[in-house]
Amino acid sequence: MVKAIVAPSILASDFADLGCQCKKMYANNADWLHVDVMDGHFVPNISLGMPIISSLRKAIPKEYNEKNENIKFFDCHMMVSEPEKWVAEIAKAGGDQYTFHYESTKDPVKLIELIKSHGLKAACAIKPGTDVDVLFDLGDKLDMALVMTVEPGFGGQSFMANMMPKVEKLREKFPQLNIQVDGGLGKGTIGHAATAGANVIVAGTSCFTASNPTELIQYFKDEVNKNLKAKGCYTEN
């Protein structure tokens, strides 16, 4: 199923009011929460860890629709060295998807198998300097591919439009794969991502600071779905 998915990045939230702010995003029609985990080694920043994810899951329990899909989905973006170490912990904490960086592991196929063995969806991210071709042999094994549109590690950076050819190549090769973009997404840049074929939109600062988050999130979805339909790869079910 390929359709618009909006995943506000909680890195841009007010951590003093994290639970309430995250509930507000779901109330404003967000599909997922994007949870950035950074260890200070793979990227030069330290952020959320397993105790926070676990606490957030207690505040926002999993909730399933008639298709048995968790509609309180936690998309965990693991910007960490040795990502193999944390798969079991993320599953235990209540994560739903484990996104590792291609640059952080020597055996991505084995890691994908490990992630799925813990009941998590498996996704692989690439930094701006990594060629998209590295994902071609993994695409059929993945639930999602993430093309970073900023250098990973900090929120609030400017969108890198020159990453869009990577998205275009992935969409052409994998028409039914979730393709995520992360970094600098807002009303002024969503068109680039949507036209290229991205369907999973990570937006932190724009969502959490919006005067009307519902309107903004719907705008993202409309732009994405319009372009997916034009490419003939939009599917509702």
Q: Is 204 annotated as a binding residue?
A: yes
Per-residue model confidence (pLDDT) at position 1: 75
SS3 of 135, please? Answer: helix
Q: Is 49 annotated as a binding residue?
A: no
Residue 16: pLDDT band by 50, 70, 90 thresholds? Answer: very high
Asked whether residue 37 carries a pLDDT value surpassing 80, the answer given is yes
10 Å Cβ neighbour count for 132? 17
**C-beta separation of 80 from 68 below 8 A:** no
Going by C-alpha positions, the residue among 70, 74, 128 that lies closest to residue 99 is: 74
Q: Which residues are catalytic?
A: 36, 182
* Cβ-Cβ contacts under 8 Å for 81 (sequence gap 6 or more): 39, 41, 42, 104
Q: What is the pLDDT of residues 206-217, one digit of tens each?
A: 999 999 999 999
* Cβ-Cβ contacts under 8 Å for 208 (sequence gap 6 or more): 8, 12, 13, 14, 21, 25
Per-residue model confidence (pLDDT) at position 44: 84
Q: Mean pLDDT of all residues in the chain?
A: 95
Neighbour-count burial of 227, counting CB atoms closer than 10 A to its CB (0-12 exposed, 13-18 middle, 19+ buried) = buried
Q: If you average pLDDT over residues 76-105, what whole number do you get?
A: 97
Per-residue model confidence (pLDDT) at position 237: 66
Q: Is 191 annotated as a binding residue?
A: no
Q: Is 19 annotated as a binding residue?
A: no
Q: If you average pLDDT over residues 131-150, what whole number do you get?
A: 97
Asked whether residue 155 carries a pLDDT value surpassing 90, the answer given is no
The token duo for 54 is 């676990």
Per-residue model confidence (pLDDT) at position 45: 85
Domains defined for the chain, CATH in brackets? 5-231 (3.20.20.70)
Q: Is 153 annotated as a binding residue?
A: yes
Per-residue model confidence (pLDDT) at position 187: 95
10 Å Cβ neighbour count for 116? 16
What is the distance between the alpha carbons of residues 42 and 46, in angstroms, rounded to a whole number? 10
